[in-house]
Structure 1
């Protein structure tokens, strides 16, 4: 369930970074209209979405030894 939620959030953030940043900014600040979001924030949101997707699919952060050799 948690992996599915992370994958869904990652996909939404990867495809729609402006909308996600706008929603989070409105939730985080009392007066979000006073803030100007820098262009690099949208790129960072896309990278974060990609990381969520990779973590959810198990392609990132796997520490398992896949070849069967005992390292210890």
Structure 2
């Protein structure tokens, strides 16, 4: 069930990368209209969605690897949300110093990190129970 949901999210990300970015920016950034994204962002998000969808269909080891990676990423974001914010700003925007993050972004990104970590732990324990 979770794998199917993750696959559907991957498809939506691949089909609507710009909308995904707009939602992220609406929640995370105070001044999204003043920020210039790097030109490769839409393509990068689309590729990420395709990879997630394909991996969800393939399943097995490659899906387990993706979930482990998701857990590590989630733990880092949970523990170091400001470092993630700084990294994402530099990675995504032409002029990182112009990005004004929403005051609630740190709490929201920590929540996402916790969800990713718990999801990875849950899928790990489920895999171990069936082995």
Whether the TM-score (by the shorter chain) exceeds 0.5 is: yes
In the TM superposition, residue 32 of structure 1 has moved relative to its aligned partner by: 1.7
TM-score by length of 1: 0.72
**2:58 matched to which residue of 1?**
58
- Whole-angstrom CA distance in 2 between matches of 1:18 and 1:56: 22
- Whole-angstrom CA distance in 2 between matches of 1:43 and 1:31: 23
**1:15 matched to which residue of 2?**
15
User: Which gives a bigger RCO, structure 1 or 2 (Cα 8 Å, sep 6+)?
Assistant: 1
Show structure 2 runs of 5+ residues with no match.
Answer: 65-131
In the TM superposition, residue 20 of structure 1 has moved relative to its aligned partner by: 1.0
More helix by share: 2
User: How many residues of Structure 1 are paired with residues of Structure 2 in the alignment?
Assistant: 63
Asked which structure has the greater CA Rg, the reply is 1
Moved over 3 A (4+): none
Structure 1 vs Structure 2 CA RMSD: 2.0
